[in-house]
């Protein structure tokens, strides 16, 4: 892949200069003078009626400025609920979550009051003084149980716990199964936990009473959506409200959701006439920030004798949590990911989303795709075992081959857009991974280890991921009369080097250095339109807009310089902050001078004939997603006494099209791989039968640390997509997607002498020990 002067190269990140000196500005670093601090009273019950709330003692505490309940907010809001569900015809229940619970709480952690005080500590003191009489109601914790006829209702007003149902289907599945010589079925339980960005959420709001203007800083991935909701809820016109995403200490999904705290804090600032700050602590994050969690899959695959897939069918029960905080996109994404890498002639999956009395479920890095891939890859392993085929060979026979690209599938995205695999060579990618991990030589390694009493296993998993979800991201590129280049985008940075990406693309065209570019992301005052960070989309969408805008500014600069220098534009080049005549570097005009000329003088013609200003704003619209792919291969050692799983090697071969910054691509993948290892072996958000969360510290909920990371080898294939001008595909989520499937396959392989069948993740040591049947192990 040809690299440009800057694009495609490992340039220094523009984010690092401030962050490495401790001069970043995260939401908790914003401290307007006179700010008050908010703390939220959260339900200790998974399900209860609120009978009485007495705030008198809390209000009387010195330093407390206000204690607000739902009724106190009602006169100031146009709606008491957050209506944020993505459109879908599948909903059976309307579950818009309340901004503050008034009559009933539906999960532990749901907020019902807010205290505003001189300090956070005082606000928390006051929380302890609020008296609430709850009438506990039966709670439902398990999504499968929630759909049984006599299950307790998660919401006392509802007639069932079925919040949504849909079927994704094409082809004549039942006929395919009826005629198929081989069928293999599985029941799988797949759990994912939270995102656990190291920075929790937070909101700071500043109200200017003179002009009734609100500035809201939120650790959000979607500032423009937040602004729209705030304008609606507070009934303010857009010109009076600004939402800014400051430095964000990791997002990974849940920060794309709009939360009750994001409206309560600005409203409190407006009511009290003082800035108000709320910073979520980790204890709150476990019960108030959205998570993924549980899915049960009953699935079946039909194949011919050679292992070619004839059909896939099944149903999926999805834990939706207590409210619709985003939609049904997680199970939808899971099902969509299932067949994507393979040629599947007939397909039918039914999704049933079940309400539970737990934290609402919304996407976490991967957004259902790890689950869909897990289901598919487990079925392929079952089929390989049943047919006596090598697990890699059955995949090779079914992967969409390179000569079928672009490959139109009968699937549609959630927005009804056709799913067409645009580019790639999936079989070659798999082969790269197999070669790197010495798949062919593994049986000998495994046999030797077994003779020595060690249990080695190997597994692999393929994924194809829809990235770059449209429709657009706005980017403006402006050369100020000082010569400074300012790039502003609706993209929201949360650690993925978004500013560097934009600076690289723009500097490439304007003859500048990356460090010369000032990038503003996630500020609604700098960019009127925006979608924000999700779906591995920002390099694809914002990158494309930045590229086209920079090209326009470049052309205009050359045209104006041509007039100023009286030279044809073909004879000009742009370099080091100036436009110069090729071969005569002394003949030049700086970008600053061009920008000043383009700013105009009263009564004088603009040079270049291209209108005023040296700037361009672009919203490149790309509806179709571009599909990235990859293969993970994992070798493990399993200690059958302790249940400990050690990943000895992990190979990740992938294709994200052209790489804008190879080191950043690797960094995104490595972070995802670590997260995937967590999902495979460690991360478990546990609740008891009453839906009480019981893994609410980082000592109970285990995140991968440096010692759990295996040696990882990343291999690259570059198939540029034709769908955007840079040829790129998203890479922010890829790493996580195939890891649980590949690790499960490897552990199952290691435990083959015990006849183990892995049907769930995460796999704790206890789970692994339970899979080992000593009677089948024979003498050791």
Partner 1 sequence: MSESRHIALHVNGERREAETPVRQHLADFLRGTLGLTGTHLGCEHGVCGACTVLVDGRAVRACLMLAVQAAGRAVTTIEGLAAADGTLHPLQQAFCDHHGLQCGFCTPGILATLVEYLAENPDPGAEDLRIALSGNICRCTGYDSIVAAALAAARALRGEAA
Binding residues (CB under 8 A) for partner 1: these are 12-13, 15-16, 19-26, 28-29, 31, 63, 121-122, 125, 195-200, 247-250, 252, 281-283, 494-497, 663-664, 666-667, 669-675, 697-699, 703, 705-707, 709, 712, 735
Pick between residue 528 and residue 667 the one whose CB is nearest to partner 1.
667
Name the β-bridge partners of 38. 116
What is the SS3 assignment for 502?
helix
Shortest Å distance, C-beta 20 to partner 1: 5
Please name the residues in contact with 750: beta carbons below 8 A apart, sequence gap of 6 or more. Answer: 455, 456, 457, 636, 637, 638
Pick between residue 22 and residue 586 the one whose CB is nearest to partner 1.
22
> Is the separation of the CB atoms in 359 and 283 below 8 Å?
no
Alpha-carbon distance of 452 to 157, in angstroms, equals 62
Pick between residue 102 and residue 129 the one whose CB is nearest to partner 1.
129
Name the β-bridge partners of 477. 487, 616
Shortest Å distance, C-beta 369 to partner 1: 18
Closest Cα partner for 569 from 553, 555, 590?
Answer: 555
* Range list of H helices, 21-139: 56-60, 70-73, 120-127
Shortest Å distance, C-beta 743 to partner 1: 15
Each residue of 654-683: b (16+ CB within 10 Å) or e?
A: bbbbbbbbeebbbbbbebbbbbbbbbbbbb
Q: Is the dihedral of CA 722, 725, 726, 729 positive or negative?
A: negative
Shortest Å distance, C-beta 764 to partner 1: 18
Shortest Å distance, C-beta 89 to partner 1: 36
Alpha-carbon distance of 57 to 179, in angstroms, equals 72
Shortest Å distance, C-beta 753 to partner 1: 30
Pick between residue 42 and residue 396 the one whose CB is nearest to partner 1.
42
Shortest Å distance, C-beta 24 to partner 1: 6
Shortest Å distance, C-beta 234 to partner 1: 29
Joined tokens for residue 334: 């899971």
Shortest Å distance, C-beta 698 to partner 1: 4
Alpha-carbon distance of 485 to 594, in angstroms, equals 12
Pick between residue 77 and residue 129 the one whose CB is nearest to partner 1.
129
Pick between residue 213 and residue 282 the one whose CB is nearest to partner 1.
282
Pick between residue 72 and residue 118 the one whose CB is nearest to partner 1.
118
Please name the residues in contact with 259: beta carbons below 8 A apart, sequence gap of 6 or more. Answer: 82, 201, 288, 289
Q: What is the 3-state secondary structure (H, E, C) of 588-636?
A: EEEHHHHHHHHHCCCCCCCHHHCCCCCEEEECCCCCCCEEEEEEEEEEE
Number of residues that make up the chain: 780
Shortest Å distance, C-beta 713 to partner 1: 11
Pick between residue 40 and residue 407 the one whose CB is nearest to partner 1.
40
Shortest Å distance, C-beta 608 to partner 1: 39
Alpha-carbon distance of 188 to 165, in angstroms, equals 19
Shortest Å distance, C-beta 705 to partner 1: 5
Cis peptide bond upstream of 406, omega within 30? yes
> In 3-state terms, the chain is what percent helix, strand and coil (to 5)?
30, 25, 40
Pick between residue 461 and residue 739 the one whose CB is nearest to partner 1.
739
> Is the separation of the CB atoms in 193 and 294 below 8 Å?
no
Pick between residue 260 and residue 672 the one whose CB is nearest to partner 1.
672
Q: Where in 288-356 does DSSP place strands (E)?
A: 294-303, 309-321, 347-355
Alpha-carbon distance of 226 to 524, in angstroms, equals 10
What is the SS3 assignment for 572?
strand
* Cα distance from N-terminal residue to C-terminal residue, the chain: 53
Pick between residue 29 and residue 767 the one whose CB is nearest to partner 1.
29
Pick between residue 16 and residue 133 the one whose CB is nearest to partner 1.
16
Alpha-carbon distance of 119 to 495, in angstroms, equals 29
């Amino acid at each position: 892949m040809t690299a440009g002067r800057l694009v495609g190269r490992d340039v220094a990140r523009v984010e690092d200069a401030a962050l490495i000196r401790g001069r970043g500005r995260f939401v908790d670093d914003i401290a307007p003078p006179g700010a008050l601090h908010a703390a939220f009273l959260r339900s200790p019950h998974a399900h209860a009626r609120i009978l009485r709330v007495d705030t008198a003692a809390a209000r009387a505490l010195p330093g407390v400025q206000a204690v607000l309940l739902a009724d106190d907010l009602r006169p100031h809001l146009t709606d008491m609920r957050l209506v944020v569900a993505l459109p879908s015809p599948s909903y059976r229940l309307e579950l818009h979550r309340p901004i503050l619970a008034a009559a009933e709480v539906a999960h532990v952690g749901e907020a019902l009051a807010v205290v505003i005080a001189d300090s956070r500590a005082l606000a928390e003191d006051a929380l302890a003084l609020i008296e609430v009489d709850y009438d506990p109601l039966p709670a439902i914790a398990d999504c499968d149980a929630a759909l049984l006829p006599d299950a307790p209702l998660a919401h006392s007003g509802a007639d069932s716990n079925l919040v949504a149902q849909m079927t994704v289907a094409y082809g004549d599945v039942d006929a395919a199964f009826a005629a198929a010589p081989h069928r293999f079925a599985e029941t799988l339980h797949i759990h994912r936990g939270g995102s656990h960005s190291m920075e929790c959420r937070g909101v700071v709001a500043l109200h200017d009473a003179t002009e009734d203007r609100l500035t809201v800083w939120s650790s959000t991935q979607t500032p423009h959506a937040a602004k729209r909701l705030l304008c609606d809820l507070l009934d303010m016109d857009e010109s009076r409200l600004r939402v800014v995403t400051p430095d964000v200490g990791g997002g990974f999904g849940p920060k794309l959701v709009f939360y009750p705290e994001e409206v309560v804090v600005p409203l409190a600032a407006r009511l009290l006439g003082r800035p108000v700050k709320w910073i979520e602590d980790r204890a709150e994050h476990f019960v108030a920030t959205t998570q993924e969690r549980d899915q049960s899959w009953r699935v079946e695959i039909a194949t011919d004798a050679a292992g070619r897939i004839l059909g896939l069918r099944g149903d999926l029960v999805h834990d939706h949590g207590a409210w619709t905080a985003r939609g049904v996109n997680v199970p939808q994404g899971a099902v969509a990911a299932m067949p994507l890498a393979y040629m599947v002639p007939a397909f039918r999956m039914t999704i049933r989303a079940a309400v539970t009395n737990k934290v609402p479920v919304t996407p976490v890095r991967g957004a259902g795709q790890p689950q869909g891939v897990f289901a598919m890859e487990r079925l392929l392993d079952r089929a390989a075992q049943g047919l006596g085929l090598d697990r890699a060979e059955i995949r090779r026979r079914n992967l969409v081959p390179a000569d079928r690209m672009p490959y139109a599938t009968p699937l549609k995205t959630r927005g009804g857009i056709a799913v067409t695999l645009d580019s790639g060579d999936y079989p070659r990618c798999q082969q790269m991974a197999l070669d790197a991990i010495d798949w062919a030589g593994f049986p000998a390694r495994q046999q030797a280890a077994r003779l020595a009493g060690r249990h080695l296993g190997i597994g692999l998993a393929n994924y194809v991921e829809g990235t770059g979800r449209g429709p657009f991201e706005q980017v403006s590129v402006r050369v100020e009369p000082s010569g400074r280049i300012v790039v502003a985008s609706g993209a929201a940075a949360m650690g993925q080097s978004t500013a560097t990406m934009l600076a690289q693309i723009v500097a490439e065209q304007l003859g500048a250095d990356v460090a010369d570019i000032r990038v503003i992301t996630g500020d609604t005052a700098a960019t009127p339109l925006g979608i924000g960070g999700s779906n591995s989309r920002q390099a694809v969408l914002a990158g494309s807009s930045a590229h086209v805008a920079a090209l326009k500014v470049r052309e205009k600069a050359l045209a104006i310089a041509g007039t100023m220098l009286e030279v044809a534009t073909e004879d000009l080049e742009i370099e080091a902050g100036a436009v110069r005549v090729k071969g005569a570097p002394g003949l030049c005009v700086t970008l600053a001078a061009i920008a000043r000329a383009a700013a105009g003088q009263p009564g004088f013609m603009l040079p270049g004939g291209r209108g005023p200003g040296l700037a361009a704003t672009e919203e490149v619209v790309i509806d179709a997603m571009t599909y990235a792919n990859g293969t993970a291969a994992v070798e493990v050692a399993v200690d059958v006494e302790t249940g400990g799983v050690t990943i000895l090697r992990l190979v990740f071969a992938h294709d994200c099209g052209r790489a804008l910054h190879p080191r950043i691509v690797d960094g995104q993948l490595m972070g995802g791989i670590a997260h995937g290892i967590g999902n495979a072996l460690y991360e478990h958000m546990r609740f008891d039968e009453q839906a009480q969360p019981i893994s609410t510290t980082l000592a109970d909920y285990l995140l991968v640390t440096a010692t759990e990371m295996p040696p990882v080898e990343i291999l690259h294939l570059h198939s540029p997509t034709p769908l955007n001008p840079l040829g790129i595909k998203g890479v922010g989520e890829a790493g996580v997607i195939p890891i649980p499937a590949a690790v499960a396959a490897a552990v199952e392989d290691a435990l083959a002498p015990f006849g183990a069948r892995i049907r769930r993740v995460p796999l704790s040591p206890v789970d692994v020990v339970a899979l080992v049947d000593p009677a089948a192990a024979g003498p050791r």
